[in-house]
């Protein structure tokens, strides 16, 4: 006898970007990314995503266990915890007691100025990407603090930790003179949700001019030979307009013309590989980390294309 229940979602058209990506995800992804893919594209529920994410949560309220693939080992880290908040935000569960526990963890690992380090010293002794150095007294990092503060503001979370962390982000963003793409992306993640919209728009306008003046965005994706990747990045580690403006509502969208954004999105479509997944455009240091990171990149690519109105299937 056939089982009854909710109707299955329609299968994406064969050979569409979404169909090809789905096959890649079922073949390669961790349970968390499989459930996240189902939530975003196959009418899946949020509860299974939360259940899968709980496997990475520690008693201190933070997250570990290689949730962010470049950091191995069980210990909680700000990078892992920021990624967990990103997932909770994506499934509209970024609130309540879970986030209160996260904020207590963030408070416990903050630097003296109230911000987050990129790597807490507790990571020492576990395999770690060589481009993420571990120090005994790590500095505050906009790279980690900006996205976390932005997510919490967007979800109207109020916690004492946010006050000094927000002040740090404003000071860091408004004092940037020379930067790199990942730091600019973190600044955008903060500015897109900062409560002071007038101040955020002014700061974003300045950053946009800096991105163009310093060549931090590849505006001609078909001619990358004339635009080398930033120093310290992988040879193919270019950043494009869609990396900064992941949705049309982002303040970074105003940095680029319609033609520049269209070329950027065309390039993103073309990056889908034969196996259906998107590549990871950062330095690879271990086979397992690349395998785990590609489904994440694939989900983000599809979400970006859909947000900008591109047909994915």
> What proportions of the chain, in percent to the nearest 5, are helix, strand and coil?
55, 0, 45
Does residue 291 lie in a domain region? no
Cα dist. 18→28, 122, 125, 262, 312 in Å? 15, 39, 40, 19, 5
* E strand or H helix that includes residue 28: helix 17-28
pLDDT per position as a tens digit, 17-34:
999 999 999 999 999 999
Look up tokens 């680029």; give the residue: 256
Q: Report the candidate in 47, 48, 64 with the shortest Cα–Cα distance to residue 56.
A: 64
pLDDT confidence of residue 56: 98
Does residue 129 lie in a domain region? yes
Does residue 1 lie in a domain region? no
Does residue 264 lie in a domain region? no
Cα dist. 282→95, 233, 270, 294 in Å? 31, 7, 18, 11
Domain count, the chain: 1
Look up tokens 């996205």; give the residue: 147
Mean pLDDT by 10 residues, the chain (313 residues): 53 82 98 98 98 98 97 98 98 95 98 97 97 95 98 97 98 96 97 98 98 95 81 78 98 98 98 97 88 97 98 95
Does residue 112 lie in a domain region? yes
Cα atoms in the Cβ-side hemisphere of radius 13 Å centred on 45: 5
Does residue 142 lie in a domain region? yes
Instruction: Please give the biggest Cα pair distance in the chain.
Output: 67
pLDDT confidence of residue 3: 46
* E strand or H helix that includes residue 149: helix 142-154
pLDDT confidence of residue 117: 98
Does residue 87 lie in a domain region? yes
pLDDT confidence of residue 284: 86
Measure CA of the first residue to CA of the last residue in the chain; give whole Å.
32
Domain that holds residue 111: 56-175
Cα dist. 261→104, 167, 204, 221, 244 in Å? 39, 32, 17, 11, 11
Does residue 24 lie in a domain region? no
pLDDT confidence of residue 232: 66
Residue 18, phi then psi, degrees to nearest 5: -70, -40
Residue 275, token pair as written in the block: 């196996």
């Amino acid at each position: 006898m056939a089982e009854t229940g909710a109707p299955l979602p329609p299968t994406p058209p064969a050979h569409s970007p979404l169909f090809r990506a789905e096959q890649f995800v079922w073949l390669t992804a961790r349970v968390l990314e499989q459930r996240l893919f189902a939530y975003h594209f196959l009418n899946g529920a949020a509860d299974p995503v939360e259940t899968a994410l709980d496997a990475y949560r520690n008693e201190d309220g933070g997250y570990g266990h290689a949730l962010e693939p470049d950091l191995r080992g069980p210990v909680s880290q700000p990078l892992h915890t920021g990624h967990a908040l990103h997932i909770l935000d994506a499934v509209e569960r970024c609130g309540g007691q879970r986030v209160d526990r996260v904020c207590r963890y963030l408070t416990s690992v903050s630097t003296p100025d109230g911000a987050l380090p990129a790597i807490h010293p507790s990571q020492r002794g576990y395999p770690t990407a060589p481009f993420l150095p571990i120090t005994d007294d790590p500095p505050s990092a906009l790279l980690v603090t900006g996205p976390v503060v932005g997510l919490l503001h967007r979800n109207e979370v109020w916690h004492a930790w946010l006050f000094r962390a927000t002040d740090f982000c404003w000071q860091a963003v408004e004092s940037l003179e020379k930067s790199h793409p990942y730091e600019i992306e973190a600044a955008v993640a903060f500015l897109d949700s900062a409560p002071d919209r007038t101040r955020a728009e002014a700061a974003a306008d300045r950053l946009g001019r800096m991105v163009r003046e310093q060549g931090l965005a590849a505006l001609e994706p078909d001619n990358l030979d004339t635009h080398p990747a930033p120093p310290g990045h992988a040879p193919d580690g270019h950043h494009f307009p869609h990396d900064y403006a992941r949705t049309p509502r982002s303040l970074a969208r105003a940095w680029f013309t319609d033609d520049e954004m269209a070329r950027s999105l065309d390039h993103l479509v073309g990056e889908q590989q034969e196996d259906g997944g998107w590549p990871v455009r950062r330095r690879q240091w271990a086979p397992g980390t690349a395998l785990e990171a590609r489904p994440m990149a694939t989900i983000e690519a599809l979400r970006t294309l859909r947000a900008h109105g591109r047909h994915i299937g």
